[in-house]
């Protein structure tokens, strides 16, 4: 059963029409959406996505109605042979407040941050990036059990994350997307010489590599910051247990030099000055 967010365009209520087992456009198609008590919320025409494929995006599901019982959409259509039919489908409405960790909000922010066009990636591809980013964070921060980050069926990240967690997830996603964009660009690059003339479309790859390194480097530094300070990215949880030492491979990055445990020891930074661009993230809010 489809689940539609309250105060958003009706999604997941698609209909596929076949005539003689072939996807075919009807002569006409419309729908009605009814709330659980039976009143009609909206009557509208179907939005054509492709031949024989229509959805109900022309309707925004309003708030203020029962969301504990199923709603209905009634599709009415006239086939090419002039026979009119109807079909009814039930769906659920979710009234959960939309927050920044909602799938659509995350996608919008990523597009703004990276200057992406709507045609660069599909929503399904963005969802894959988000899931891969959550898996990466779960691995790097050793999150498990009830603290394992994942997408639920409403497109929200659970458990609920705080502002620092949102920034970390954005860094992880943007790192993955920039890596993907560079792979695509390199695959299309050409360098051809004809006598004294040369065509070179690979000249910008070095700058693109630096961009990937900077974005992914910010994610790595944020992970180290969280591991060392012990701050939590999960909303409502004050902190994790901070480690006395943070390693990268077999090299120490930070170590706590407080040998007597009185809290007055210094912190020693073993990272290279060439890759330490400053620890300015404020994840513990």
pLDDT per residue over 95-113, tens digit each?
765 444 456 777 887 888 7
**Residues 174, 220: Cα–Cα separation, whole Å:** 13
Q: Say whether both 203 and 130 belong to one domain.
A: yes
C-alpha dist (Å) from residue 266 to 110, 250, 258, 261, 278: 38, 22, 6, 11, 18
Domain span holding position 255: 103-269
- Model confidence band, residue 275 (pLDDT cutoffs 50, 70, 90): very low
Q: What is the pLDDT of residue 70?
A: 94
Which of 48, 76, 94 is the C-terminal boundary of a domain? 94
Is 67 inside a domain boundary?
yes
Closest CA to 11 of 69, 85, 73, 88: 73
Neighbours of 60 (CB within 10 A): 15
Helix 163-188 and helix 123-140: axis angle, to 10°?
A: 120
Residues 189 and 116 in one domain: yes
Long-range contacts of 210-218 (CB under 8 A, 24+ apart): 211/178, 212/175, 212/178, 212/179, 212/182, 215/171, 215/174, 215/175, 215/178, 216/175, 216/178, 216/179, 217/275, 217/277, 218/171
Same-domain pairing of 75 and 211: no
65 has pLDDT over 90: yes
Question: Is 284 among the domain residues?
Answer: no
Does residue 231 form part of some domain?
Answer: yes
Domain shared by 57 and 154, yes or no: no
Residue 282 has pLDDT above 70, yes or no: no
What's the number of CA atoms in the CB half-sphere (13 Å) around residue 259?
0
Which of 94, 115, 146 is a domain's end point? 94
Angle in degrees, 0-180, between the axes of helices 103-114 and 163-188, rounded to the nearest 10: 60
Q: Is residue 277 part of a domain?
A: no
216 lies in some domain? yes
pLDDT at 266 over 70: no
Task: Report if residue 263 sits inside a domain.
Answer: yes
| Residue 169 three-state SS | helix
Q: What is the mean pLDDT of residues 50-78?
A: 93
CA atoms within 13 A on the CB side of 261: 0
Residues 127 and 51 in one domain: no
Same structural domain, 110 and 214: yes
135 and 222 fall within a common domain: yes
User: Best-predicted range by mean pLDDT among 7-11, 47-51, 138-142, 242-246?
Assistant: 47-51
Structure confidence at residue 238 (pLDDT):
65
- In the chain, the number of structural domains is 2
- DSSP, res 102: B
Q: Are residues 26 and 84 in the same domain?
A: yes
Dist CA 46 CA 76 (whole Å) = 10
Closest by CA to 179, choosing from 142, 219, 225, is: 219
Q: How confident is the model at residue 143 (pLDDT cuts 50, 70, 90)?
A: confident
Length of the chain in terms of residues written: 285
Higher pLDDT, 141 or 97: 141
Do 79 and 136 fall within a single domain? no
**Which CATH number fits the domain that encloses residue 36?**
2.60.40.10
Asked if residue 84 and residue 146 are part of one domain, the reply reads no
44 belongs to a structural domain? yes
């Amino acid at each position: 059963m489809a689940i539609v967010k309250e105060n958003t365009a009706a999604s997941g209520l698609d209909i596929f029409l076949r005539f003689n087992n072939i996807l075919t456009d009807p002569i006409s198609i419309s729908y009605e959406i009814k709330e659980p008590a039976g009143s009609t919320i909206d009557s509208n025409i179907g939005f054509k996505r492709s031949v024989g494929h229509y959805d109900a995006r022309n309707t925004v599901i309003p708030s203020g109605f029962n969301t504990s019982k199923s709603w209905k959409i009634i599709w009415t259509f006239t086939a090419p042979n002039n026979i009119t039919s109807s079909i009814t489908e039930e769906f659920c409405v979710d009234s959960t407040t939309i927050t920044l960790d909602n799938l659509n909000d995350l996608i919008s922010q990523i597009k703004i941050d990276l200057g992406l066009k709507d045609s660069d990636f599909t929503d399904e591809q963005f969802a894959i990036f988000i899931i891969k980013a959550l898996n990466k964070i779960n691995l790097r921060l050793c999150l498990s059990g009830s603290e394992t980050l994942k997408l639920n069926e409403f497109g929200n990240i659970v458990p609920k994350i705080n502002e620092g967690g949102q920034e970390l997830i954005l860094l992880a996603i943007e790192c993955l997307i920039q890596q993907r964009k560079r792979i695509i660009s390199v695959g299309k690059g050409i360098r051809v010489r004809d006598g004294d003339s040369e065509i070179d479309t690979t000249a910008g790859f070095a700058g693109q590599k630096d961009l990937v390194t900077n974005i992914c480097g910010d994610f790595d530094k944020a992970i180290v910051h969280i591991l060392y300070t012990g701050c939590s990215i999960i909303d409502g949880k004050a902190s994790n247990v901070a480690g006395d030492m943070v390693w990268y491979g077999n090299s120490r990055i930070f170590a706590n030099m407080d040998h007597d445990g009185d809290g007055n020891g210094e912190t020693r930074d073993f990272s290279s000055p060439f890759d330490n661009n400053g620890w300015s993230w404020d994840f513990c809010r």
